[in-house]
Structure 1
Amino acid sequence: MTTTSQELRDLLLSRIRDVPDYPKPGILFKDITPLLADPEAFTALTEALAGFCLAQGATKVVGLEARGFILAAPVAVRAGIGFVPVRKAGKLPGATLSQAYELEYGSAEIEIHAEDLEPSDRVLVIDDVLATGGTAEASLRLIRRSGARVAGLAVLMELAFLAGRDRVVAALDGAPYQALITL
Protein backbone atom coordinates (compact mmCIF):
# COMPACT_ATOMS: atom_id res chain seq x y z
CA MET A 1 0.00 0.00 0.00
CA THR A 2 1.43 3.37 -1.01
CA THR A 3 0.10 6.31 0.99
CA THR A 4 0.91 9.94 1.49
CA SER A 5 1.71 11.18 4.97
CA GLN A 6 -1.80 12.61 5.33
CA GLU A 7 -3.44 9.41 4.07
CA LEU A 8 -1.36 7.35 6.49
CA ARG A 9 -2.13 9.70 9.39
CA ASP A 10 -5.87 9.59 8.61
CA LEU A 11 -5.84 5.78 8.33
CA LEU A 12 -3.96 5.34 11.61
CA LEU A 13 -6.08 7.86 13.50
CA SER A 14 -9.26 6.18 12.28
CA ARG A 15 -8.09 2.96 13.95
CA ILE A 16 -7.00 4.42 17.30
CA ARG A 17 -9.75 4.35 19.91
CA ASP A 18 -10.06 6.88 22.73
CA VAL A 19 -10.86 5.28 26.09
CA PRO A 20 -11.85 7.92 28.66
CA ASP A 21 -10.86 7.56 32.31
CA TYR A 22 -8.43 4.69 31.73
CA PRO A 23 -6.36 3.62 33.59
CA LYS A 24 -7.62 6.25 36.03
CA PRO A 25 -10.08 9.15 36.02
CA GLY A 26 -9.00 12.11 33.91
CA ILE A 27 -6.80 10.09 31.52
CA LEU A 28 -7.78 9.70 27.86
CA PHE A 29 -6.10 6.43 26.85
CA LYS A 30 -5.15 5.93 23.20
CA ASP A 31 -5.97 2.27 22.45
CA ILE A 32 -4.08 0.93 19.42
CA THR A 33 -5.59 -2.57 19.48
CA PRO A 34 -8.13 -1.71 16.71
CA LEU A 35 -5.19 -0.57 14.55
CA LEU A 36 -3.32 -3.82 15.23
CA ALA A 37 -6.43 -5.84 14.34
CA ASP A 38 -6.76 -4.13 10.95
CA PRO A 39 -4.29 -5.71 8.48
CA GLU A 40 -4.34 -2.70 6.12
CA ALA A 41 -3.58 -0.19 8.89
CA PHE A 42 -1.03 -2.40 10.64
CA THR A 43 0.77 -3.10 7.35
CA ALA A 44 0.82 0.61 6.46
CA LEU A 45 2.25 1.42 9.90
CA THR A 46 4.89 -1.31 9.63
CA GLU A 47 5.89 -0.17 6.13
CA ALA A 48 6.21 3.47 7.22
CA LEU A 49 8.36 2.62 10.24
CA ALA A 50 10.48 0.15 8.24
CA GLY A 51 11.07 2.85 5.62
CA PHE A 52 12.33 5.24 8.29
CA CYS A 53 14.46 2.45 9.75
CA LEU A 54 16.10 1.66 6.40
CA ALA A 55 16.62 5.36 5.62
CA GLN A 56 18.62 5.68 8.85
CA GLY A 57 20.82 2.68 8.07
CA ALA A 58 19.74 0.83 11.21
CA THR A 59 21.18 -2.62 11.84
CA LYS A 60 18.96 -3.35 14.86
CA VAL A 61 15.55 -2.23 16.06
CA VAL A 62 14.85 -1.79 19.77
CA GLY A 63 11.26 -2.02 20.99
CA LEU A 64 10.24 -0.57 24.34
CA GLU A 65 8.10 -2.63 26.68
CA ALA A 66 5.36 -3.42 26.07
CA ARG A 67 3.50 -2.02 23.07
CA GLY A 68 6.78 -1.01 21.44
CA PHE A 69 7.50 -4.76 21.08
CA ILE A 70 4.37 -5.19 18.97
CA LEU A 71 5.45 -2.45 16.56
CA ALA A 72 9.20 -3.02 16.49
CA ALA A 73 9.25 -6.77 15.82
CA PRO A 74 7.44 -6.63 12.43
CA VAL A 75 9.47 -3.54 11.48
CA ALA A 76 12.67 -5.50 12.09
CA VAL A 77 11.36 -8.40 9.99
CA ARG A 78 10.32 -6.05 7.17
CA ALA A 79 13.68 -4.25 7.27
CA GLY A 80 15.61 -7.54 7.42
CA ILE A 81 17.43 -6.67 10.65
CA GLY A 82 17.46 -7.85 14.28
CA PHE A 83 15.00 -6.97 17.04
CA VAL A 84 16.08 -6.32 20.63
CA PRO A 85 13.54 -5.92 23.45
CA VAL A 86 14.07 -3.31 26.13
CA ARG A 87 12.41 -4.78 29.22
CA LYS A 88 11.54 -3.67 32.71
CA ALA A 89 14.22 -4.66 35.22
CA GLY A 90 14.22 -8.32 36.25
CA LYS A 91 12.45 -9.67 33.15
CA LEU A 92 15.48 -10.87 31.16
CA PRO A 93 17.55 -13.96 32.01
CA GLY A 94 21.32 -13.78 31.80
CA ALA A 95 23.70 -10.86 31.84
CA THR A 96 22.02 -7.48 31.31
CA LEU A 97 22.81 -3.80 31.06
CA SER A 98 20.40 -1.59 33.00
CA GLN A 99 19.47 2.06 33.05
CA ALA A 100 17.55 3.74 35.86
CA TYR A 101 15.45 6.83 35.21
CA GLU A 102 13.09 9.13 37.04
CA LEU A 103 9.33 9.14 36.64
CA GLU A 104 6.94 11.86 37.72
CA TYR A 105 6.42 10.05 41.05
CA GLY A 106 9.29 7.65 41.57
CA SER A 107 11.80 5.83 39.44
CA ALA A 108 12.04 2.86 37.09
CA GLU A 109 14.71 0.76 35.44
CA ILE A 110 15.01 -0.85 32.02
CA GLU A 111 17.35 -3.56 30.73
CA ILE A 112 18.69 -5.25 27.62
CA HIS A 113 20.75 -8.40 27.25
CA ALA A 114 24.39 -7.36 27.36
CA GLU A 115 25.26 -9.33 24.21
CA ASP A 116 22.35 -8.16 22.01
CA LEU A 117 23.99 -4.92 20.82
CA GLU A 118 27.50 -4.49 19.47
CA PRO A 119 29.62 -1.40 18.78
CA SER A 120 29.04 -1.86 15.04
CA ASP A 121 25.24 -1.63 15.47
CA ARG A 122 23.15 1.39 14.48
CA VAL A 123 19.99 1.14 16.58
CA LEU A 124 16.55 2.58 15.87
CA VAL A 125 14.27 2.83 18.92
CA ILE A 126 10.55 2.25 18.31
CA ASP A 127 7.64 2.81 20.67
CA ASP A 128 3.93 3.36 20.38
CA VAL A 129 3.58 6.66 22.26
CA LEU A 130 5.96 9.44 23.22
CA ALA A 131 4.57 11.06 26.36
CA THR A 132 7.06 12.67 28.76
CA GLY A 133 10.02 10.95 27.08
CA GLY A 134 11.54 9.35 30.17
CA THR A 135 11.60 5.76 28.93
CA ALA A 136 12.76 6.76 25.45
CA GLU A 137 15.55 8.90 26.87
CA ALA A 138 16.66 6.06 29.17
CA SER A 139 16.70 3.64 26.23
CA LEU A 140 18.95 6.00 24.25
CA ARG A 141 21.37 6.15 27.19
CA LEU A 142 21.26 2.36 27.50
CA ILE A 143 22.03 1.88 23.79
CA ARG A 144 25.01 4.21 24.02
CA ARG A 145 26.26 2.47 27.17
CA SER A 146 26.20 -0.83 25.23
CA GLY A 147 28.67 0.71 22.79
CA ALA A 148 26.18 0.79 19.90
CA ARG A 149 25.21 3.95 18.04
CA VAL A 150 21.72 5.48 18.03
CA ALA A 151 20.24 5.66 14.51
CA GLY A 152 17.06 7.46 15.65
CA LEU A 153 13.73 7.21 17.40
CA ALA A 154 10.34 6.58 15.82
CA VAL A 155 6.92 6.52 17.47
CA LEU A 156 3.40 5.93 16.26
CA MET A 157 2.10 8.95 18.14
CA GLU A 158 3.41 11.83 20.19
CA LEU A 159 1.35 13.51 22.90
CA ALA A 160 2.67 17.03 22.32
CA PHE A 161 1.07 18.54 25.43
CA LEU A 162 3.42 16.43 27.60
CA ALA A 163 6.52 17.96 25.92
CA GLY A 164 8.50 14.73 25.63
CA ARG A 165 9.86 15.75 22.24
CA ASP A 166 12.25 18.35 23.69
CA ARG A 167 13.64 15.79 26.10
CA VAL A 168 14.24 13.08 23.49
CA VAL A 169 15.51 15.40 20.76
CA ALA A 170 18.18 16.59 23.19
CA ALA A 171 19.02 12.98 24.09
CA LEU A 172 19.14 11.96 20.40
CA ASP A 173 22.16 14.25 19.97
CA GLY A 174 21.48 14.89 16.29
CA ALA A 175 19.96 11.51 15.40
CA PRO A 176 16.53 11.83 13.72
CA TYR A 177 13.12 11.64 15.38
CA GLN A 178 9.86 10.71 13.70
CA ALA A 179 6.30 10.73 15.05
CA LEU A 180 3.72 9.52 12.54
CA ILE A 181 0.94 11.28 14.47
CA THR A 182 1.23 14.28 16.79
CA LEU A 183 -1.72 14.98 19.07
Structure 2
Amino acid sequence: MNIKDHIGSIPGFPKEGIIFRDVTPILECPEAFEEVTKQLSQFARDVQADVIIGPEARGFFFGIPVANELKLPFVPVRKPGKLPRKTISETYELEYGTDTLCMHADSLKPENRVVIIDDLLATGGTVEAIVKLVEKQQAKVAGIGFVIELDDLKGKSKFEGIPVCSLVHFEGE
Protein backbone atom coordinates (compact mmCIF):
# COMPACT_ATOMS: atom_id res chain seq x y z
CA MET A 1 0.00 0.00 0.00
CA ASN A 2 1.26 3.48 -0.88
CA ILE A 3 0.57 5.70 2.13
CA LYS A 4 1.23 8.81 0.03
CA ASP A 5 -1.97 8.02 -1.91
CA HIS A 6 -3.89 8.69 1.32
CA ILE A 7 -2.43 12.13 2.05
CA GLY A 8 -4.36 15.12 0.80
CA SER A 9 -2.60 18.18 -0.60
CA ILE A 10 -4.55 21.41 -0.04
CA PRO A 11 -3.02 24.47 -1.77
CA GLY A 12 -3.48 27.84 -0.04
CA PHE A 13 -4.34 26.43 3.39
CA PRO A 14 -3.99 27.86 5.99
CA LYS A 15 -2.59 30.72 3.90
CA GLU A 16 -1.49 31.47 0.36
CA GLY A 17 1.80 29.86 -0.67
CA ILE A 18 1.38 26.84 1.62
CA ILE A 19 0.40 23.33 0.55
CA PHE A 20 -1.24 21.70 3.58
CA ARG A 21 -0.56 17.96 3.88
CA ASP A 22 -3.78 16.44 5.20
CA VAL A 23 -3.46 13.15 7.09
CA THR A 24 -7.18 12.74 7.76
CA PRO A 25 -7.67 10.54 4.65
CA ILE A 26 -5.38 8.03 6.39
CA LEU A 27 -7.75 8.01 9.36
CA GLU A 28 -10.69 7.48 7.00
CA CYS A 29 -9.12 4.39 5.40
CA PRO A 30 -8.71 1.52 7.89
CA GLU A 31 -6.12 -0.23 5.71
CA ALA A 32 -3.95 2.90 5.41
CA PHE A 33 -4.30 3.64 9.13
CA GLU A 34 -3.31 0.07 9.96
CA GLU A 35 -0.27 0.30 7.67
CA VAL A 36 0.91 3.57 9.23
CA THR A 37 0.44 2.12 12.72
CA LYS A 38 2.31 -1.05 11.72
CA GLN A 39 5.30 0.83 10.27
CA LEU A 40 5.62 3.32 13.13
CA SER A 41 5.21 0.48 15.66
CA GLN A 42 8.02 -1.47 13.99
CA PHE A 43 10.27 1.59 14.19
CA ALA A 44 9.49 2.03 17.91
CA ARG A 45 10.14 -1.67 18.47
CA ASP A 46 13.46 -1.48 16.57
CA VAL A 47 14.76 1.37 18.78
CA GLN A 48 13.52 -0.42 21.92
CA ALA A 49 11.04 2.22 23.05
CA ASP A 50 9.29 1.79 26.37
CA VAL A 51 7.19 4.99 26.20
CA ILE A 52 5.45 6.73 23.29
CA ILE A 53 4.94 10.51 23.32
CA GLY A 54 2.78 12.56 20.97
CA PRO A 55 1.81 16.23 20.75
CA GLU A 56 -1.78 17.36 20.42
CA ALA A 57 -3.66 16.96 18.20
CA ARG A 58 -2.36 15.06 15.20
CA GLY A 59 0.40 13.35 17.19
CA PHE A 60 -2.40 11.74 19.20
CA PHE A 61 -3.89 10.27 16.00
CA PHE A 62 -0.80 8.14 15.41
CA GLY A 63 0.97 7.94 18.77
CA ILE A 64 -1.89 6.38 20.74
CA PRO A 65 -2.41 3.49 18.28
CA VAL A 66 1.34 2.79 18.27
CA ALA A 67 1.43 2.75 22.08
CA ASN A 68 -1.61 0.46 22.11
CA GLU A 69 -0.10 -1.88 19.51
CA LEU A 70 3.10 -2.20 21.54
CA LYS A 71 1.36 -2.25 24.96
CA LEU A 72 3.36 0.81 26.03
CA PRO A 73 2.32 3.92 27.95
CA PHE A 74 1.36 7.01 25.94
CA VAL A 75 2.37 10.43 27.28
CA PRO A 76 0.44 13.40 25.85
CA VAL A 77 2.13 16.73 25.19
CA ARG A 78 -0.31 19.63 25.25
CA LYS A 79 -0.67 23.40 25.31
CA PRO A 80 -0.52 25.13 28.72
CA GLY A 81 -3.52 24.67 31.01
CA LYS A 82 -4.71 21.40 29.45
CA LEU A 83 -3.07 18.85 31.76
CA PRO A 84 -4.41 18.39 35.32
CA ARG A 85 -1.27 17.51 37.31
CA LYS A 86 1.95 19.43 37.84
CA THR A 87 3.60 20.07 34.47
CA ILE A 88 6.92 21.06 32.99
CA SER A 89 6.99 23.31 29.95
CA GLU A 90 9.16 24.33 27.03
CA THR A 91 8.72 27.51 25.01
CA TYR A 92 9.92 27.51 21.42
CA GLU A 93 10.14 29.90 18.49
CA LEU A 94 7.59 30.08 15.70
CA GLU A 95 7.89 32.04 12.46
CA TYR A 96 6.06 34.96 14.14
CA GLY A 97 6.28 34.60 17.92
CA THR A 98 6.53 31.71 20.36
CA ASP A 99 4.51 28.75 21.58
CA THR A 100 4.69 26.55 24.67
CA LEU A 101 4.24 22.82 25.17
CA CYS A 102 3.69 20.99 28.47
CA MET A 103 3.80 17.46 29.83
CA HIS A 104 3.16 16.02 33.27
CA ALA A 105 6.26 16.44 35.44
CA ASP A 106 6.03 12.84 36.67
CA SER A 107 5.37 11.12 33.35
CA LEU A 108 8.89 9.83 32.65
CA LYS A 109 11.68 8.13 34.56
CA PRO A 110 15.42 8.49 33.80
CA GLU A 111 15.58 4.93 32.46
CA ASN A 112 12.82 5.50 29.88
CA ARG A 113 13.52 5.16 26.16
CA VAL A 114 11.02 7.43 24.45
CA VAL A 115 9.78 7.52 20.87
CA ILE A 116 8.07 10.75 19.83
CA ILE A 117 5.36 10.30 17.18
CA ASP A 118 3.89 13.16 15.15
CA ASP A 119 2.15 13.58 11.83
CA LEU A 120 4.61 15.86 10.05
CA LEU A 121 8.20 17.06 10.22
CA ALA A 122 8.67 20.54 8.75
CA THR A 123 11.14 22.83 10.56
CA GLY A 124 11.29 20.54 13.61
CA GLY A 125 10.46 23.21 16.19
CA THR A 126 7.62 21.35 17.89
CA VAL A 127 9.51 18.09 18.26
CA GLU A 128 12.68 19.90 19.30
CA ALA A 129 10.68 21.33 22.22
CA ILE A 130 9.43 17.83 23.08
CA VAL A 131 13.00 16.49 23.03
CA LYS A 132 13.88 19.17 25.60
CA LEU A 133 10.90 18.17 27.77
CA VAL A 134 12.08 14.55 27.70
CA GLU A 135 15.62 15.61 28.59
CA LYS A 136 14.31 17.70 31.52
CA GLN A 137 13.09 14.41 33.00
CA GLN A 138 16.48 12.76 32.29
CA ALA A 139 14.87 10.24 29.94
CA LYS A 140 16.35 9.32 26.54
CA VAL A 141 14.81 10.01 23.14
CA ALA A 142 15.33 6.66 21.42
CA GLY A 143 13.72 7.80 18.16
CA ILE A 144 11.28 10.10 16.42
CA GLY A 145 8.63 8.89 13.98
CA PHE A 146 6.64 10.91 11.46
CA VAL A 147 4.06 10.06 8.87
CA ILE A 148 5.29 12.89 6.59
CA GLU A 149 8.58 14.73 6.20
CA LEU A 150 8.94 17.94 4.18
CA ASP A 151 12.53 17.36 3.10
CA ASP A 152 13.32 20.86 1.83
CA LEU A 153 12.69 22.40 5.27
CA LYS A 154 15.53 20.30 6.73
CA GLY A 155 13.89 19.79 10.13
CA LYS A 156 15.62 16.43 10.46
CA SER A 157 18.96 18.24 10.87
CA LYS A 158 17.90 19.28 14.40
CA PHE A 159 17.96 15.65 15.53
CA GLU A 160 21.48 14.44 14.75
CA GLY A 161 22.26 11.32 16.72
CA ILE A 162 18.57 10.43 17.12
CA PRO A 163 17.04 7.87 14.75
CA VAL A 164 14.27 9.48 12.67
CA CYS A 165 11.68 7.51 10.69
CA SER A 166 9.51 9.30 8.12
CA LEU A 167 7.07 7.17 6.15
CA VAL A 168 6.41 9.63 3.31
CA HIS A 169 8.57 12.42 1.87
CA PHE A 170 7.55 15.57 0.00
CA GLU A 171 9.99 17.90 -1.78
CA GLY A 172 9.65 21.60 -2.42
CA GLU A 173 6.60 22.36 -0.35
Pick from 120, 130, 148: which aligns with 2:111?
120
Task: Name the CA distance, whole Å, in 1 between partners of 2:139 and 2:156.
Answer: 22
> What is the TM-score with the length of structure 2 in the denominator?
0.95
Is it true that 1:67 corresponds to 2:58 in the alignment? yes
Local SS of the residue matching 2:110: coil
Local SS of the residue matching 1:128: strand
Is it true that 1:14 corresponds to 2:5 in the alignment? yes
Gaps of 5+ in 2: none
Is it true that 1:182 corresponds to 2:173 in the alignment? no
Task: Name the CA distance, whole Å, in 2 between partners of 1:66 and 1:82.
Answer: 17
Gaps of 5+ in 1: 1-6
Q: Looking at both structures, which has the greater relative contact order when contacts are Cα pairs under 8 Å and sequence separation is at least 6?
A: 2
Over 6 Å off, 4+ runs: none
In structure 1, the residue matched to 2:28 is 37
When the two chains are superposed, the root-mean-square deviation of aligned CA atoms in Å is: 1.0
Tell me if structure 2 keeps the 8 A contact 1:97–1:146.
Answer: no
Matches within 5 A, 1:72-111: 72-111=63-102
Q: Which amino acid aligns with 1:115?
A: D
In structure 2, the residue matched to 1:3 is none
Task: Name the CA distance, whole Å, in 1 between partners of 2:22 and 2:169.
Answer: 15
Tell me which protein shows more helix as a share of its residues. 1
Is it true that 1:158 corresponds to 2:149 in the alignment? yes
> What is the TM-score with the length of structure 1 in the denominator?
0.90
Is it true that 1:130 corresponds to 2:121 in the alignment? yes
Q: Which amino acid aligns with 1:40?
A: E
**Which deviates further from its counterpart, 89-98 or 126-135?**
89-98
Q: Which amino acid aligns with 1:128?
A: D
> Percent sequence identity over matched residues?
44
Q: Deviations over 1:86-114 (max 9, x none)?
A: 11122111200111111111111101011
Task: Name the CA distance, whole Å, in 2 between partners of 1:134 and 1:156.
Answer: 16
Task: Name the CA distance, whole Å, in 1 between partners of 2:6 and 2:68.
Answer: 23
Question: What is the aligned length?
Answer: 170
Q: Which amino acid aligns with 1:176?
A: P
Task: Name the CA distance, whole Å, in 2 between partners of 1:182 and 1:165.
Answer: 12
In structure 2, the residue matched to 1:4 is none
Task: Name the CA distance, whole Å, in 2 between partners of 1:63 and 1:75.
Answer: 10
* Deviation at residue 132 of structure 1 after TM alignment: 0.5
